[in-house]
Amino acid sequence: MTGFRRGLVALVLAAMPAAAAPVVDPGVQFARLPDGRALAFRCTGAGTPTVLLDGGWGASSLAWSKVQRLVAPTTRVCSYDRAGMGLSDPGPAPRDGAAIARDLDEALRAAHIAGPFVVVGHSAGGLYVRLFADRRPADVVGMVLVDPSVDHQDRRLSAVFGPGAGSVAGLRARSAACLAAATAHALPSVDPQLARCDAATPVATWATEVAELDSLWGATSDEVVAGRSSYGALPLIVLTAGDTNAALPEPARRVADRVWAGLHDEIAEHSTVGVRRTVAGTGHLIPKDRPDAVAAAIAEVIRAAPRASAGGRP
């Protein structure tokens, strides 16, 4: 059973890459928030609606590069770095979903990136775009959630598989160790426990990773639950990774797959036209391994979205 629970942790965030050092890109646009901080956007393509891409835990906008290249020929698409990630300035604590959604809302207004929007969230980003949609319901005309995290995921998985099934304690400990070492100017290090700690990664990035995890199954989950219980007829597609549990023996894999798909079914049911689909040939990192599946879902949602004007509220 111990191996079973270890496999379930992969459903959470463990497959996410370590934070990459920022890469200067002439295509980056900076939006200045009311408090003076700046968030970095990478916008390509033209047309409406604008597709907004929000990544998983530990990921910058570069995680969307394959998907963005596929979507840009048909409409405008913007990926962005959350506060403290990539090229964006860090944000004040707490880094819960409400703060992240507020940052995105204010940054879009500051950069004059107008709706209508189709929002796309991967992993933890799935929670964040749902909160953004609650802030801008008139402007969000479609949603794609890519192997999304679910509210109170630790509690819900533990209720089925036992204590620790959905814990992110290991991930937090790794990022906290990197944060401590970076703060002490002790990187790079020969300590094998610090092998994943890239010396080029800013201290603020490690701090952001810890802060987001500290809120994920608490405040962020509470905020999602307190949000809309129904999206009406909003076009919504939830993509579930087909091979996340491939390393588990049967029947454990079949059980884990069924539970994870069931949690995603619940999200899809928030819309009267919501659907869930399993994406074969990929684990949790669908945007990297099957960008075609993500781009196809985005295109389908765009076709089904209301023909709103391109003028959305700035």
Closest CA to 254 of 262, 147, 268, 166: 262
In a domain, 23, yes or no: yes
Q: How far, in Å, CA of 149 to CA of 65, rounded?
A: 21
Domain assignment present for residue 311? The answer is no
| pLDDT for position 113 | 96
Helix (H) or strand (E) holding 118: strand 117-122
Q: What CATH number is attached to the domain comprising 117?
A: 3.40.50.1820
pLDDT along the chain (314 residues), means of 10: 43 43 68 98 97 97 97 97 97 97 98 96 98 97 98 95 90 96 96 93 97 97 97 98 91 94 98 98 96 98 77 39
Tokens at residue 179, please?
Answer: 């944060």
Residue 309 lies in a domain: no
Give the pLDDT confidence score for residue 20 in this predicted structure: 42
Residue 145 lies in a domain: yes
Q: Quote the domain boundaries for residue 81.
A: 2-304
- The answer to whether residue 314 sits within a structural domain is no
3-state SS record for 285-311: CHHHHCHHHHHHHHHHHHHHCCCCCCC
Q: How many domains does the chain have?
A: 1
- Model pLDDT, residue 75: 97
Q: Does residue 313 lie in a domain region?
A: no
